[in-house]
Every structure is written in structure tokens, then in C-alpha cells.
Structure 1
């Protein structure tokens, strides 16, 4: 009996991964457009749908190029916020990209990108301070907490995969 692992994952595993990525892409579109509409964006055709579609397409490439997908997602969010006013968040639209990139050995760069994005978000939202300090704090702290959770979850996922590999190789 041969207990060696095949060089390539079984077809059902590869197809499942593709289905997961398609589902995450669809969820990205639906949730971002819904959030944009819920935050009183006048029309989603002024950039929200376009950004949602860009982020969704990027999700489809997250496994192959996690850092590139993260950087392009962050860049797309910056362009969206610069081109049109929106109270939509800065970190959560790229949640899948942050989680995936955090599961790689480049987690320090992921944290650096996230911190830079948070700093810019906090500066960009400073006008809220005069109107509603609580909203500003919730926005800034909430985005930071979400970033920490996404990076922590990515690290935990990577650690679990490493543990499973070691356990399997020991058997």
C-alpha cells in the first residue's frame, strides 16, 4: 500500500477552493454595495459598484499573489475615497486580502500596509471630530481592531496549516 501524498491536490479540493474564492468575491460585491447604500451614498454607480467589482476580481487571485492583491486592493480603496466622498470603511473592504496576506511569511509588511492605511484613514476622517467625536473614535478604533483581528486570524490560520503539515509528516 502506498501512503504517499499525490503531487497535486485532488480535483474536488481544487474545485472547492475555486468555489470559496467565487463566493468570497460575490460576498465582497454584495456587502460593499449594500454598505455604500446604507451609508447614504447617492448612487452606487458613482464608484461603489466599480470598486466592489475590482475588489471581487482581486479576490480571485489572492491565493497566487496575496501581497499584490492586498496592495492593489488598498490602492483601489484609496482611489475610491479620493474620487468620491464615502463614509464606507478603509480596512473592511479589503478584509479577504488582509487575511490572506497575513497568512504568508510577509505578515510584517501586511501590518505596515494596514497601519499606513489606518493613519491615512484617521487623517482623512478628522473633519468628523468637530461634528461627532464618538463617531470618529468608533471609526478609527473599529478599523484598527478589525485590522488586528484579520492579521491575527491570518497568523492563526497559517499556524494551523503548519501544525497539520508537521502532524501529517510525523505519521
Structure 2
């Protein structure tokens, strides 16, 4: 007679959420630093004293995103605002917060997320207004591109939440 011993799931399955968060955090850090340095940030406290801590702050916040998605979004916006406060940077306002936006948009607070995003877009448009005198096309691409990205991220969060709800209603399969 064999006893049925429950099989313990593999390590990757047990720790998938942590591994995924680490990957998203690392990707955010690497992309933020690469874009900041690639666009030629010229602030006196950058690149290393400014860009690296900001990137690590944005990445580190992602480890809290599952428990406190709205807090992570708001703190990430604050970190990014601090980064942009020294001097305008072409590194963008929305894309560094992509994971935070998708996670927050998957919560019941999606209207708040859209409002926060609209406020951030308005600030970004005003912050980049100086570009209009030099290159209107670049300004429009910047502003419309960030708006389109924000809409895509919020839609992705809504789709993730809908998929999660649909799967929760499905019966267990043997």
C-alpha cells in the first residue's frame, strides 16, 4: 500500500512571484540607466550619483507592488519627479513606471490610476513645453507617445484583472 505523499512544487513554481518581481525590477533598472545615459543626461549630479540611485529606487519599489500597488505607483512617481527636478531629461515620464501602472490598473482603483496618469501626462506636457519653440513635431511625438503608452498600460492592467477574475471562476481541472 502506498501512502499518497503530496508532491512539493518545484522551487521555480514556489518562488515564481519573487523571481518575476526580481526580473521586472532588474529590467527597470537596466533600461532606465541605459536610456538615461543613452540620451545624454547632463545634470551635475548625474550619471552615477543620480541615475543609479533613482533606477535602484524604481526597481526596489517593484518588490512591494503586489501588496501595495497604489503606494508603489505614487512613490515611483515621486522618485521620477525627483529625478526630473534637477534638469529636464528626455528619459520620459511614463515608461519607467510601466510595471507600477499595469499593477495598479489591475486593482479596483483603476479610475484613480487613470486620473494619476492624466495628471502625470499634463505635468510632462508642461515640463516639455520648451520643445515647442524648437521642434513642434518632437513635442507632439513625446506627448502623444506617452499618452498612448499610458493608455496601453492601463488597458493591460484591466485585461490582467479580467483574466484573473475569469480564471478564478473556472472549475478546477484534474
Distance 1:168 1:89 in 2: 43
2:5 — aligned with what? none
TM-score (norm 2): 0.88
Unaligned runs of 5+ in 1: 1-8
1:38 — aligned with what? 38
1:108 — aligned with what? 111
TM-score (norm 1): 0.89
Structure 1 position 38, deviation (Å): 1.3
| 1:21-73 per-position Cα deviation (integer Å, ceiling 9, x unaligned) | 00001000100000011111144224211111000000111001000000000
1:63 — aligned with what? 66
Unaligned runs of 5+ in 2: 1-8
Task: Work out whether residues 46 and 84 of structure 1, in 8 Å CA contact, stay in contact via their aligned partners in 2.
Answer: no
SS of the residue 2:15 aligns to: helix
Task: Work out whether residues 93 and 124 of structure 2, in 8 Å CA contact, stay in contact via their aligned partners in 1.
Answer: yes
Task: Work out whether residues 88 and 127 of structure 2, in 8 Å CA contact, stay in contact via their aligned partners in 1.
Answer: no
- Equivalences, count: 163
Distance 1:10 1:158 in 2: 26
Structure 1 position 96, deviation (Å): 0.4
Structure 1 position 90, deviation (Å): 0.2
For structure 1, which segment, 82-91 or 40-49, has the greater mean C-alpha deviation from structure 2 after superposition? 40-49
Task: Work out whether residues 77 and 97 of structure 2, in 8 Å CA contact, stay in contact via their aligned partners in 1.
Answer: yes
Task: Point out 4+ residue stretches in structure 1 off by more than 3 angstroms.
Answer: 9-14
2:84 — aligned with what? 81
Structure 1 position 156, deviation (Å): 0.3
Q: CA RMSD in A?
A: 1.8
* Structure 1 residues 1-171: aligned runs within 5 Å: 12-42=12-42, 43-168=46-171
Distance 2:15 2:47 in 1: 32
SS of the residue 1:90 aligns to: coil
Distance 1:140 1:99 in 2: 19
Task: Work out whether residues 47 and 84 of structure 1, in 8 Å CA contact, stay in contact via their aligned partners in 2.
Answer: no
**Cα distance 1:97–1:51, how it changes in 2: closer, same or farther (>3 A)?**
same
